[in-house]
Amino acid sequence: MTLTEEKTTQERPKGLGPIGWLRWGWRVLTSMRTALILLFLLALASVPGSLFPQRGVDPGAVARYLTDDPVKAEWLDRFWLFDVFKAPWFAAIYLLLFLSLVGCVLPRLAVHLKEIRRTPPPAPRNLARLPHHADIEGDLASAEAYLRSKRWRVATGEGWVSAEKGHLRETGNLLFHVALLVLLVAVGAGGLFGYRGNVLVVEGDGFSNTVAAYDRYLPGSQVSPEDLQPFSFTLKDFQATYVGPGHEKQGQPLDYFAKLAVQDAPGAPEREVELRVNEPLEADGALTYLIGHGYAPTFRITGGDGKVAFEGPVPCLVNNTATFESECVIKVPDAAPDQLAFLGRFLPSTVPNGEEWLSIFPGAANPTVQIWPFKGDLGLDAGTPQSVYDLGAHQNLKPLGQMTASPKPMAVGEAIDLPEGAGKIEFTGVKEWITLQTTYDPGRFPALLASGAAILGLLLSLQIRRRRVWVRLRDGGVTVGGLTRTEGGDFGEEFAELTKALEQHARAEVKDVP
Amino acid sequence: MSPDRLATLSDQLVLAAILLYLAAMVGYALELAFGRVTETVRERKLVSVGGPAEEVPEAAAPEPASWAPKAGLAGTVALWLGWAANVGGTLTRGLAVDRWPWGNMYEFVVAMLLAAVTVFLFLQVRYPVRFLGAFVAVVAAIGLGFAVRVLYTQAGPVVPALDSYWVAIHVSAAIAASGLFIVGGVAAALFLVRKEGPSRLPARADLERVAHRVIVIAFPIWTFAVISGALWADKAWGRYWGWDPKEVWAFITWVAYAAYLHARATAGWKGKAAMIVSLIAFACLMFNLVGVNIFIGGMHSYADVSK
Ligand code: HEM
């Protein structure tokens, strides 16, 4: 240690040399100024994450951006601006700040441990020179007793008493900074060892927690498919209530919940769980949240050959959350002789409006579906990935019959015979779907502990002041002097109170010992 | 009283609060304009209580008007009355909707300004900070006016995600911290406006002291607000931190205020530089409230601002 130090100082004129450069770099990195700059940079770096849509938050919005303005989007993407919080430059700032924190906290921790064990320094010769001082009645013994009783650390010498208080400030400060480090680690570990999955489930259907069952699955790099908690459930029922007519907020949801029958593991007893917005399902540390809902009208579709080619619910995407007017896509590759496809518009509370039909309320008071039929080749064998919510990719479909802007809607139980003898579609009922998100994050509890510690540390660090008081004997009494390391605040007030208390204490002792 | 009557009463009380805050501003402003001229160098009680108060000779200034302190007192009375109306407005709104009265942006802003005025009145009871009164009052009046004109929404229930006890914890903390930060922001802005030397405006040292004092109290509360927000997000959305725009800006605000504290505590920045950092932080806070709610959106789009 000392050797290298000497070497670097000697070599400085000729250049620092590799170790010198390392030491220099470390010193710069762990300096306060660098930490401040890194802190600012981190804040600055997160700004674009709020201005551009992020893949991790809203992948749909990113996809729209890419189609709307491909040239600009490509450039943005090149700089990771749709994945700011996973970008290498963001990670670089984060890591440098982390290092800088480590480099500054560890030495300070060592210094602080030494500091705590040290006794307060002897009194200066002339206390009247201190910013706070007063001549009072009293004697050293009573001053010492009083200061000790108020939990000052006290040292004494020939003709003086020295006292110090407020090491908790630095303790709190270190606690805060260490807690930040722990928080960074916990967040990182959660990302590595946790996973997140999204799935859509229709009433009556089930789900079991496997990678294949998810519509979208985002594992941390240290998670393997066997690690998933083996729970499963069936969606028994979903119910929503909305603000009724006559209020500005008509149609706003008041409450919704899903009834699940849950099994924590295969063969385990079944339990009923009511899933609500702020009340997730917990199974073995994995949490499942209700994050969305919508309608899934059910259909029976018959091909031109008279055979039933499709029967079941079709989840529709919500176009308008105030009325739950939804858009559905039905693909029927099993229909023969021609494959069939349909676009649908689902209206939960239908009213006619001139030539059109509208939904006026999100509840299913009068559910209908408008249908636009197509036939042709769905091309599902071609192997190109297709969205189940989109017909746009199918060029080989042709409309059946006359296309109108607003065809007459079907009510539940009604059927339409398709033109050109292509078959029949029956609207058989209405179910609801929910979207769920399952998360497993082993870092969340450590992160919470670290956050609590950070607040505690902050309070100590910001509210406690380190201060010293000395008492020196003089003719007919003592002189008290005070000093605080941290400027500002009310030390003057505290000092005035302290001198008064010292005086009172001295007088009381005199009375006790007549 | 029926919920509708209560809601109407709440609206009227908020209007009354605006008028009273304006009256308070006039009173305080008259005292500032015709009262004593302050100097930066004069040690005020707020700056140092214990040390001997050094009397610095008054600069040659016009004789203060004898009625000026009375105007200031009238301002104080009007501010207390406005505060009472503001409290009443928030309370009746809460009773009308039978939930915590900070479920949308209108309610949040009304409560936040109430918090700011409360902070100021509390400071005024304990410390001689009357010099800030005119500025706090005008900010409160303009803020409430903005809430009524732009953000107003009819009293009513909230969406299920907001129907949670976390509102009481998380949003209340955010309101308290914002109220404190507003007082700090007013003091910091005045600091930058005021030049050195004699002036009708309050002394720079006093302004800096007030700003620091409230920010030091507000920062842990804001930290708590951010953390309780993360806890709520963990309950509601399945992740405690997702870099949603509101979260990003809460984080930026937090970092900026931490940078202010750092600059003061460790880098020894004083005066103008530190005040500018604190104002940048305050701008982030305001952007998170107004900008993110209205222009950006995200999962936190509960602002419910009528378009
Ligand atoms: C390498 C990074 C860092 C270093 C070297 C560092 C160093 C320090 C030091 C020496 C203090 C002591 C101030 C005192 O005793 O009065 C301090 C206080 C503080 N630090 Fe840091 N810190 C770092 C990172 C951070 C970060 C990331 C934050 C939070 C965003 C933070 C927030 C604070 C706060 C709030 C205080 C209290 C300020 C006060 O006492 O008024 N620090 N820091």
Which pTM was predicted? 0.82
| Residue B292 to residue A50, Cβ atoms within 8 A | yes
* A365 and A491 within one domain: no
Q: Is A488 left (phi over 0), alpha (psi -120 to 50) or beta?
A: left
Q: How far apart are CA A147 and CA A162, in angstroms?
A: 9
pLDDT, average across residues A452-464? 92
Residue A393 contacts B, CB cutoff 8 Å: no
Tokens 């919470």 belong to residue: A448
A362-366, A415-419, B299-303: which has the minimum mean pLDDT? B299-303
pLDDT of residue A222: 87
pLDDT above 80 (res A485)? no
Kindly indicate the confidence band of residue B58, based on its pLDDT and cuts at 50, 70 and 90: very low
Kindly indicate the confidence band of residue A455, based on its pLDDT and cuts at 50, 70 and 90: very high
Residue B262 Cα to ligand 1 middle (Å): 5
The domain segmentation of chain B, as residue ranges, is: 1-38+64-158, 164-307
Kindly indicate the confidence band of residue A2, based on its pLDDT and cuts at 50, 70 and 90: very low
Strand positions, DSSP E, A140-285? 153-157, 160-165, 195-202, 206-208, 216-219, 232-242, 253-263, 270-276, 281-283
Nearest by CB to B255, which of A39, A455, A488? A39
**Is A178 a domain residue?**
no
* A364 and A265 within one domain: yes
**Is A8 a domain residue?**
no
pLDDT, average across residues A48-71? 85
pLDDT above 50 (res A470)? yes
Residue type, position B194, single letter: R
Kindly indicate the confidence band of residue B251, based on its pLDDT and cuts at 50, 70 and 90: very high
Residue A91 contacts B, CB cutoff 8 Å: no
* A298 and A156 within one domain: no
Q: Domain count of chain A?
A: 3
For residues A67 and A490, which has the higher predicted lDDT (pLDDT)?
Answer: A67
pLDDT of residue B112: 96
**Is A148 a domain residue?**
yes
Nearest by CB to A454, which of B223, B251, B298? B223
pLDDT of residue B279: 96
* A349 and A211 within one domain: yes
**Best of A100, A102, A185, A461 to mutate for ligand 1, by most ligand atoms within 8 A of CB?**
A461
pLDDT, average across residues A340-359? 91
Over residues A68-115, the pLDDT tens digits come to: 888 998 999 999 899 888 889 998 998 898 888 888 888 889 999 998
pLDDT, average across residues A249-253? 80
pLDDT of residue B54: 42
Residue A372 contacts B, CB cutoff 8 Å: no
Residue after which a domain boundary falls, among A85, A109, A133: A109
| Residue A459 to residue B248, Cβ atoms within 8 A | no
* A349 and A272 within one domain: yes
**Residue B66, min C-alpha distance to chain A (Å):** 32
Residue B242 Cα to ligand 1 middle (Å): 25
In the predicted model, what is the mean pLDDT of chain A? Answer: 86
For chain B, what percentages of helix, strand and coil (3-state, to nearest 5) are there? 70, 0, 30
pLDDT, average across residues B284-301? 77
**Is A116 a domain residue?**
no
| Residue A496 to residue B50, Cβ atoms within 8 A | yes
Q: Which of residues 9-68 of B touch A (CB under 8 A)?
A: 48-51
Residue B156 contacts A, CB cutoff 8 Å: yes
Burial class (CB in 10 A: 0-12, 13-18, 19+), A74: exposed
Pick from A53-57, A302-306, B115-119 the range whose average pLDDT is largest: B115-119
A471-480, B95-104, B155-164, B278-287: which has the minimum mean pLDDT? B155-164
pLDDT above 90 (res A344)? yes
pLDDT above 60 (res B300)? no
* A44 and A162 within one domain: no
pLDDT, average across residues B18-26? 95
**Best of A33, A39, A108, A173 to mutate for ligand 1, by most ligand atoms within 8 A of CB?**
A173
pLDDT of residue A386: 66
Kindly indicate the confidence band of residue A452, based on its pLDDT and cuts at 50, 70 and 90: very high
* A99 and A29 within one domain: yes
Q: Which residues line ligand 1 (CB under 6 A)?
A: A 32, 35, 39, 100-101, 104, 173, 177, 180, 458, 461-462; B 255, 258, 261-262, 265-266
- On the question of a cis peptide bond just before residue A419, with omega within 30 degrees of 0, the verdict is no
Cα distance from N-terminal residue to C-terminal residue, chain A: 62
pLDDT above 50 (res A3)? no
Domain that holds residue A486: 121-166+465-512
* A229 and A97 within one domain: no
Q: How far apart are CA B172 and CA B181, in angstroms?
A: 14
* A125 and A105 within one domain: no
pLDDT of residue B138: 95
* A206 and A94 within one domain: no
Nearest by Cα to A209 from A155, A146, A174, A260: A260
